[in-house]
Amino acid sequence: MYHVPVFVLTHHARPSLVMEGGTVFHFVADGIEAALERARDAAGELNVRVGGGASTIRQYLQAQLIDEMHLAASPTLLGTGEPLLAGLDLIKLGYRCEAFVPGERAGFYRITRA
C-alpha cells in the first residue's frame, strides 16, 4: 500500500506485519521518539511523514518533532471529534504559518518550525 516501512504507535508490542507489495508495518510500543528514530533510520536521507489521529499529531507537535506540517481545514461540521490543536500554543512551540491557500471547500496551510 505505501511501499515504504510504516511505524505504528501502539500500547501492545506485536510482530511486524508484511503486506503484499512490500509494505511492512512495524509496531512500536515505546513512544513517539522511538517510532520517529526508527522511521528516520529506515528513511536514510529521505523525508519521514508522520500520520495519525489528532492525539498522535499533538504529541509530536508538543515535543517539537514536526519540522513542517501541511494541513487542510474545511468548515464542514462532521460531528464531534478530537480537536487537532487543542491545548497547543503553536507560536510558543516555535511554529508559524508559512503559507495559506484558500480553496473552494478547504483552506490549505503550511506550518513550519523555526
Q: 39-86 pLDDT, tens per residue?
A: 999 999 999 999 888 999 999 999 999 999 999 988 777 777 788 899
The predicted-structure confidence for 17-38, as pLDDT tens digits, reads as follows: 999 888 999 999 999 999 999 9
Strands 24-28 and 95-102: unpaired
Is residue 79 within 8 Å of residue 49, measured between CB atoms? no
Q: Which domain holds residue 22?
A: 1-49
The C-alpha atoms of residue 113 and residue 60 are separated, in whole angstroms, by 12
- Provide the number of structural domains found in the chain: 2
Predicted pLDDT at 3: 84
The predicted-structure confidence for 67-80, as pLDDT tens digits, reads as follows: 999 999 887 777 77
pTM of the model: 0.88
What Rg, from alpha-carbon coordinates, does the chain have?
16
Residues 71, 45, single domain; the answer is no
Residue 54 domain-assigned? no
